[in-house]
């Protein structure tokens, strides 16, 4: 699976307005006085934008299905108020690449409203919700029943959500000034966290080499170079305005201005999902409270679509709750069989190197499949129950494939202890 959603081109506040000449040098005496000229137009206004219906290379994508010529003619000339985003920018990945499934990004909250003729049917089909659906958020860890059984060979657990602040553009459309304002706000807000959440912010721009090496060793550093995110407009002005915060224990982390304004992550070794979830819920609450105290702003939340994200595949909870777990029986049975079973359990299997990093050995990353239409508590419960079920089935599959204790010991030896990690490969949206 690769990237899902897409936008391109620079928003109105970017693209070199500061370098435009606004006066003409002359020799000799000054010219006669004349009426004061109007201010130069912003580059976005000056740049000619084609409204010709685009050739969508991802012919089997949801964009190809719902961006018809009639819809295009209705929406192509619209620019959003927050950052001048257009439908052409939103669908740039579906136009540029032939491998997209969804194929669209939002450049701001306005995009979901003003291009609703496209976003609404894509969201309903992708998430399987009705037009009347309402999203419910619930982060009450006390409602989670049970946990992953102690016998299940879980290496690590991590749960992440995305968040964006109301009033600013999303990553595909955010202006340079907005991005820098977000970073400034987040640096101040995160510095106010206390107790087990207290930590340090590391800006990507002009990062100290010692800090960079440590973040690489911890698998915390995100980097540029993803073709989909580049076409979507997410890597403009890299690495300015981006950074990483983590607490002292390295169990709580916030990415700033990557695919969303924030990725808030809780993680630790072992399979205590409820502890990881409790820390995440606490962190989300305290980060938003700190942001509101600093700026008066809150996270962007829609009663239908939940927490707003740049990629419509992430809207709703924006949550991915996952464990790295050994499943040697399922490994012997085959990846396609595991994928099929996970689909039945509303789970998603990946290799431990992330979505595009491949699979080695018998350790799998197992997470919830859904984002929208379910609460956070429900998704965590689905992951816990599903992993327990997969493990019980794995024991039977080990018998089926005549696997014994020596095989298990060898598998354990071959698997590097799976530290809780967060790398750019793990955070790509579904196509």
Please say if 263 is a catalytic residue. Answer: yes
Largest CA distance in the chain: 97
Please say if 236 is a catalytic residue. Answer: no
Please say if 93 is a catalytic residue. Answer: no
391 phi, psi to nearest 5 deg: -65, -45
Pick from 220, 231, 209: which is nearest to 263 by CA?
Answer: 220
| 428 Rama sector, left if φ>0, alpha if ψ -120 to 50, beta otherwise | beta
- Pick the catalytic residue: 259, 286, 333, 427? 259
- Pick the catalytic residue: 5, 102, 311, 342? 311
Please say if 341 is a catalytic residue. Answer: no
- Pick the catalytic residue: 320, 342, 363, 426? 320
- Rounded CA-CA distance 104/4 in Å is 7
- Rounded CA-CA distance 429/64 in Å is 19
- Pick the catalytic residue: 160, 163, 179, 236? 160
- Rounded CA-CA distance 425/1 in Å is 11
CB-based burial label for 180 (10 Å; 0-12, 13-18, 19+): middle
- Pick the catalytic residue: 313, 317, 352, 363? 313
Q: If you count DSSP H runs as helices and E runs as strands, how many of each does the chain have, helices first?
A: 15, 10
Question: C-alpha angle with apex 129: 125 to 133, nearest 5 degrees?
Answer: 140
- The alpha carbon of 129 is separated from its chain's Cα centroid by a whole number of angstroms, namely 21
- Rounded CA-CA distance 183/346 in Å is 36
- Pick the catalytic residue: 263, 286, 363, 376? 263
- Pick the catalytic residue: 163, 179, 236, 350? 350
Please say if 275 is a catalytic residue. Answer: no
- Rounded CA-CA distance 420/300 in Å is 28
Give every CB contact of residue 217 below 8 A, 6+ residues apart in sequence. none
Give strand pairing partners of 194: none
Quick one: tokens of 354?
A: 């992330």
Please say if 235 is a catalytic residue. Answer: no
- Rounded CA-CA distance 97/45 in Å is 27
Please say if 342 is a catalytic residue. Answer: no
Would you name the residues annotated as active-site residues?
160, 259, 263, 311, 313, 320, 350, 355
């Amino acid at each position: 699976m690769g990237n899902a959603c897409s936008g391109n081109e620079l928003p109105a506040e970017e693209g070199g307005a500061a370098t435009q000449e606004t006066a003409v040098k002359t020799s000799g005496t000054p010219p006669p006085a004349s009426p004061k000229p109007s201010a130069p137009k912003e580059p976005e206004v000056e740049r000619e934008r084609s409204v010709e219906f685009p050739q969508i290379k991802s012919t089997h994508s949801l964009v190809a299905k719902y961006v018809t010529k009639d819809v295009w003619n209705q929406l192509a000339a619209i620019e959003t108020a927050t950052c001048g985003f257009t439908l052409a920018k939103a669908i740039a990945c579906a136009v540029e690449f032939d491998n997209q499934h969804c194929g669209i990004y939002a450049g701001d909250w306005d995009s979901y409203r003003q291009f609703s003729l496209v976003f609404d049917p894509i969201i309903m089909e992708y998430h399987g919700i009705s037009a009347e659906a309402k999203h419910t958020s619930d982060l009450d860890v006390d409602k989670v029943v049970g946990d992953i059984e102690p016998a299940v060979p879980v290496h690590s657990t991590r749960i992440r959500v995305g968040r964006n602040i109301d009033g600013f553009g999303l990553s595909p459309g955010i202006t340079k000034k907005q991005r820098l304002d977000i970073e400034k706000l987040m640096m101040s807000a995160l510095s106010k966290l206390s107790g087990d959440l207290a930590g340090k912010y590391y800006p990507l721009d002009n990062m100290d080499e010692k800090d960079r090496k440590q973040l690489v060793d911890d698998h915390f550093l995100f980097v540029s170079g993803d073709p989909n995110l580049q076409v979507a407009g997410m890597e403009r002005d890299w690495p300015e305005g981006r950074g990483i915060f983590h607490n002292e224990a390295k169990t709580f982390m916030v990415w700033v201005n990557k695919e969303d304004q924030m990725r808030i992550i809780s993680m630790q070794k072992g399979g205590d999902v409820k502890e990881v979830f409790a820390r995440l819920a606490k962190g989300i609450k305290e980060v938003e409270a700190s942001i509101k105290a600093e700026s008066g702003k809150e996270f962007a939340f829609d009663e239908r679509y939940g927490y707003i994200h740049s990629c419509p595949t992430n809207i709703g909870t924006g949550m991915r709750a996952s464990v790295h777990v050994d499943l040697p029986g399922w490994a012997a049975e085959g990846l396609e069989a595991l994928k099929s079973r996970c689909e039945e359990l509303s789970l998603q299997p990946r290799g431990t190197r992330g979505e595009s990093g491949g699979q080695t050995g018998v350790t799998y990353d197992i997470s919830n499949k859904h984002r929208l239409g379910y609460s956070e508590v429900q998704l965590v419960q689905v992951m816990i129950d599903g992993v327990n079920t997969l493990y019980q089935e794995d024991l039977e599959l080990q018998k089926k494939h005549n696997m014994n204790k020596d095989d298990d010991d060898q598998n354990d030896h071959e698997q590097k202890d799976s530290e809780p990690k967060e790398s750019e490969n793990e955070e790509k949206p579904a196509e």
